[in-house]
Homo-oligomer: A and B are copies of this chain.
Amino acid sequence: MPFVALFVQKFGGSSVADPDRIRNVADYVARRYRRGDDLVLVVSAMGKETDELLRLAREVSNTRPGREMDMLVTGGERKATALVCMALHDLGVPADSFTGSQAGFVTDTNHTNAKILQVNPDRIRDSVAKRRVAVVGGSQGVSTDNDVTFLGRGGSDTTAVALAYALGADACELYTDVSGVFSADPRVVDGARRMDKVSFDEMLEMCASGCPKPAVRSVEFARTWRVPLHVRSSFTWEPGTWITEEDLTMEDAIVSAVTHEESEAKLTVRGVPDRPGIAATLFRRLAERDINVDMIVQNVSLNGVANISFTVPQGDLEAAMELCEAYVADIDGAGVVATAAIGKVSLVGAGMRTNPGVAAKVFETLADNDINIEMISTSAIRISCVVPEDDVERAVQVLHTAFGLDV
Contacts and interface: CB of A to CB of B under 8 A. Distances in A.
Interface of A: 19, 22-23, 53, 56-57, 59-65, 67-69, 71-72, 75, 78-79, 81-83, 85-87, 89-90, 96-97, 99, 102, 123, 146, 148
Contacts of A64: 86, 89
A83 B96 contact: no
A138 to B, nearest CB: 15
Contact of A68 (B59, B68, B82): B82
B61 A89 contact: yes
B75 A63 contact: no
A60 B78 contact: no
Contacts of A148: 99
Nearest to A23: B60
B59 A86 contact: no
Nearest to A81: B71
Contacts of A71: 78, 81-82, 85, 97, 99
A96 B66 CA distance: 11
Given A23-B61, A71-B85, A72-B79, 4 more contacts: A19-B56, A60-B87, A63-B86, A68-B82
A89 B57 CA distance: 12
B68 A85 contact: yes
Copies of this chain, tallied across the complex: 2
A384 B171 CA distance: 67
A75 B78 contact: yes
Contact of A60 (B22, B67, B75): B22
A19 B60 contact: yes
Nearest to A53: B79
A69 B82 contact: yes
19 contacts: A19-B60, A22-B60, A23-B60, A56-B83, A60-B86, A60-B87, A61-B86, A63-B86, A63-B89, A64-B86, A64-B89, A65-B85, A68-B89, A69-B82, A71-B85, A71-B99, A72-B82, A72-B83, A123-B146
A59 B19 contact: yes
A65 B79 contact: no
A156 to B, nearest CB: 17
Contacts of A63: 86, 89-90
A252 to B, nearest CB: 46
Contacts of A90: 60-63
A83 B65 contact: no
A87 B146 CA distance: 23
Residue from the set A22, A86, A99 with the largest chain B CB neighbour count within 10 Å: A86
A65 B86 contact: yes
A85 B63 CA distance: 9
A66 B96 CA distance: 11
A97 B73 CA distance: 13
A289 to B, nearest CB: 24
Given A19-B60, A83-B56, A86-B57, A96 B67 contact: yes
A65 B89 contact: yes
Residue from the set A69, A82, A96, A148 with the largest chain B CB neighbour count within 10 Å: A82
- Which 5 pairs across A and B sit closest by C-beta, in order of nearness? A72-B82, A61-B86, A71-B82, A19-B59, A61-B90
A398 to B, nearest CB: 48
Contacts of A89: 61, 63-65, 68
Residue from the set A23, A64, A83, A96 with the largest chain B CB neighbour count within 10 Å: A83
A239 B67 CA distance: 33
A82 B69 CA distance: 7
A81 B75 CA distance: 11
Contacts of A22: 60
Contacts of A60: 19, 22-23, 83, 86-87, 90
Contacts of A96: 67-68
